[in-house]
Chains A and B, each alone.
Chain A
Amino acid sequence: MAKIVRVDMGAESVTFEEVPDKYRFARGRWLTSSLVADEVEPTCHPLGPGNKLVFSPGIVTGTTAPTSARISVGGKSPLTGGIKESNAGTKFATMQARLGIAAIVVQGQPKDGKQYVLTIDKNDARLMAESSLRGLGTYATTDALIAKHGNVGVCCIGPAGEMRMPMAGICFNDLENRATRFSGRGGLGAVMGAKGLKAIVVNGRGAPTVPIVDKDLFETGRAKLTKAIRSHDITKPKGGLNTYGTAILLNILNEAGGLPTRNFSRGRFEKAADVAGEAIFEGNKERLGKEVYNHACSPGCIIQCSNTWHAADGSEIVSCIEYETAWALGPDCEIGDLDVIGRLTWLCNDIGLDTIEAGGTIAVAMEGGVIPFGDKKGAIKLLEEVGKGTPLGHIIGAGAAVTGRVFGVVRVPVVKGQHMPAYDPRVVKGIGVTYATTTMGADHTAGYTIAPEILGVSGKVDNFDVNKAELSRNFQATTAFIDSSGHCLFIAFPILDFPEGFQGVIDECNGLLGTRWTAEDVGRIGAEILAREREFNKGAGFTSADDRLPEFMKYEPLPPHNEVWNVSDEELDAVHGALAS
């Protein structure tokens, strides 16, 4: 029987509960968002005792389903003030799922400022005061916990989380126990820090397998999805993602004129190719004398898109430089040097920062005159200040919206206080609709319309067309379901193009749960999750006025296309209007 582990930081207690019937099928984002919506007062302070932090692996996580080791983390965001879900790929997810723990709920707050580590194994869960990890970066924290516990799943925060900075993420270990997989967005690391929780260790040794109601149906689904992933050009072995990683997107967004450059003042960067996935692959080849294909971030991933960047002497600079990371710390700051981007990425990982918010905030600080655009040493120093918690470091650590206000910057590309990812919405209108209307604040993963608008996946849609409410709505609902399934969102590329792959995901879930879901149910469940999240945000004070892009995008044309943001408010409001009806 699946359990909920409830950790009360105020009472220093850990209790086990049975999963209530209303949550019997809910896992991943479905469960984290439901628990937050049901148990957290929307008006609570995100860093106060009323907030809760919830961890849930997906429906098929811990099974042989391909690319399904995602952990969903939910809570009220100190960055946006709304509900937050951010998921990561890590063996932590697999181990939690196999231990039969549908959710870990961390609530309350210690009164004495003590710091704790939560350890969970097949017999027990214990909350122990632990002072030796205080102030350590995520790399040292993870190393210490691995040295003590062996092959375990580790979840921890760095100094940024301890200092309750709104751009602090939550870090998980990868297969090599590097501190590099993040539930990065929305400041959930600060929530964990405010709970006095430095780390969670999940030990999967001796854990049973995940129960499956109809093994034949599950196996049928698993085979269909595996075939779809292995045969699609983007996700197959030595395909686009396995060879070049997500940073393969730098060149195509640059070509489209939608690569935000110099704090969203241009759509092209002259050095884009120097920091793209192709440059990482070729650079590694030159420096190591051999081709390096990417690796899995988590058990059972057959896409394997996670890269490693190596120095001229062959040593490892960092893993992983994602597209969003390369862009935020690169073109958005006018930095065209992979070694510097690698160093900045390592610092973000170690301090425990969302790379999108970190890079975007540095760019806003550059706009505000703190350091010049393109200042590599200055950017490194700014992140070091964040890690040390200097007054300037705290301003940067508070994110782009706060930093922009402090330095009098108008061009601040945020929605609901969260910095935009690496697609300028003036050029790619559908992703702008997603940024504006998702419950998460500006977030590309919430409804990745880039697939049809730029990449030609699931057909081709004109990126300049302003009628995108339906497209964004459908992507947002389906994504909410995928985020609940436990699969990585990158299965979307093959399942959008191959209907058999999509059916495979449904078969897997039906096989595991004994349900009879259809494709319509996927849309219905996704829409219900969105409605629940939206209800929370309404309670927190959000209105349709928050579902808007920043004003400067309406009057500042973006070169080279010189487009402004021209999607109507009615179109934006139609996204959720139709969901509710």
Chain B
Amino acid sequence: MHVNVKVFATLKRYLPEERARQAFDLEVPDGASLEDVVRMIGLPAAEVKVTFVNGRTEALSLVLHEGDEVGIFPPLGGG
């Protein structure tokens, strides 16, 4: 199945330029979790802080579905 992935801020440095610049399509096995996606695209798990699926924050153990939109953020703050 396919999911759509976006990676933000300091995590972009771990991706090839094409994937760092914009959202990309990723083929994952059925039953793959958010954690699997983080590992598959080569992000260090320790630097991943907040993960979204379809605009909702979800735990890394969440099992994904076809067409899910994934957003991955490092620790960040402001205000």
Contact A246 B78, beta carbon cutoff 8 Å: yes
Interface assignment of A456: CB less than 8 Å from any CB of chain B: yes
Mark the stretch among B26-34, B35-43, B68-76 that contacts chain A.
B68-76
CA distance A296 to B55 in the complex (A): 33
> Taking A255-B71, A256-B55, A456-B50 as contacts, is the C-beta distance between A448 and B10 under 8 angstroms?
no
Contact B79 A450, beta carbon cutoff 8 Å: yes
Contact A248 B57, beta carbon cutoff 8 Å: no
Enumerate chain A residues within 8 angstroms of B57, measured Cβ to Cβ: 256, 454, 456, 460, 462-463
Interface assignment of A328: CB less than 8 Å from any CB of chain B: no
B75 to chain A, nearest CB (A): 4
Enumerate chain B residues within 8 angstroms of A288, measured Cβ to Cβ: none
**Cβ proximity bits A441-482 to B, threshold 8 Å, 1 near / 0 not:** 000110010110011110010111000000000000000000
Contact B77 A493, beta carbon cutoff 8 Å: yes
Contact B55 A305, beta carbon cutoff 8 Å: no
Closest residue of B by beta carbon distance from A244: B9
CA distance A324 to B71 in the complex (A): 22
> Taking A450-B79, A454-B50 as contacts, is the C-beta distance between A252 and B73 under 8 angstroms?
yes
Enumerate chain A residues within 8 angstroms of B49, measured Cβ to Cβ: 233, 455-456
CA distance A87 to B25 in the complex (A): 45
Enumerate chain B residues within 8 angstroms of A255, measured Cβ to Cβ: 6, 8, 52, 55, 71, 73
Q: Which of B6, B56, B78 is in CB contact (< 8 Å) with A305?
A: B78
Interface assignment of A234: CB less than 8 Å from any CB of chain B: yes
A141 to chain B, nearest CB (A): 28
B24 to chain A, nearest CB (A): 14
Enumerate chain A residues within 8 angstroms of B55, measured Cβ to Cβ: 255-257, 560-561
> Taking A233-B74, A240-B74 as contacts, is the C-beta distance between A246 and B79 under 8 angstroms?
yes
Interface assignment of A56: CB less than 8 Å from any CB of chain B: no
Closest residue of A by beta carbon distance from B76: A240
> Taking A454-B50, A463-B57 as contacts, is the C-beta distance between A252 and B8 under 8 angstroms?
yes
Contact B79 A252, beta carbon cutoff 8 Å: no
A269 to chain B, nearest CB (A): 13
Enumerate chain B residues within 8 angstroms of A305, measured Cβ to Cβ: 78
Enumerate chain A residues within 8 angstroms of B76, measured Cβ to Cβ: 234, 240, 244, 248-249, 252, 455
Enumerate chain A residues within 8 angstroms of B75, measured Cβ to Cβ: 232-234, 239-240, 455-457
A75 to chain B, nearest CB (A): 23
CA distance A463 to B6 in the complex (A): 21
Residue total for B at the interface (Cβ-Cβ under 8 A):
19
Enumerate chain B residues within 8 angstroms of A489, measured Cβ to Cβ: 79
Enumerate chain B residues within 8 angstroms of A256, measured Cβ to Cβ: 52, 55-57
**Cβ proximity bits B42-62 to A, threshold 8 Å, 1 near / 0 not:** 000000011010011100000
B31 to chain A, nearest CB (A): 24
Of listed B12, B49, B71, B79, residue having the most chain A CB within 10 A: B79
Contact B9 A248, beta carbon cutoff 8 Å: yes
Closest residue of A by beta carbon distance from B75: A233
Contact B77 A457, beta carbon cutoff 8 Å: yes
B26 to chain A, nearest CB (A): 17
Of listed B8, B52, B77, residue having the most chain A CB within 10 A: B77
Enumerate chain B residues within 8 angstroms of A445, measured Cβ to Cβ: 79
Interface assignment of A241: CB less than 8 Å from any CB of chain B: yes
Interface assignment of A347: CB less than 8 Å from any CB of chain B: no
CA distance A25 to B49 in the complex (A): 39
Closest residue of B by beta carbon distance from A246: B78
B52 to chain A, nearest CB (A): 5
Contact B77 A490, beta carbon cutoff 8 Å: yes
> Taking A252-B73, A255-B71 as contacts, is the C-beta distance between A245 and B6 under 8 angstroms?
no
CA distance A255 to B70 in the complex (A): 9
A425 to chain B, nearest CB (A): 15
B20 to chain A, nearest CB (A): 10
CA distance A324 to B79 in the complex (A): 7
Contact A451 B9, beta carbon cutoff 8 Å: no
Chain B residues close to A by CB (< 8 Å): 6, 8-10, 12, 49-50, 52, 55-57, 71, 73-79
9 contacts between A and B (CB under 8 A): A232-B75, A249-B78, A251-B9, A252-B50, A256-B57, A277-B78, A305-B78, A451-B77, A455-B50
7 pairs of A and B residues whose beta carbons are closest in the complex: A246-B78, A233-B75, A234-B77, A255-B71, A240-B76, A257-B55, A249-B78
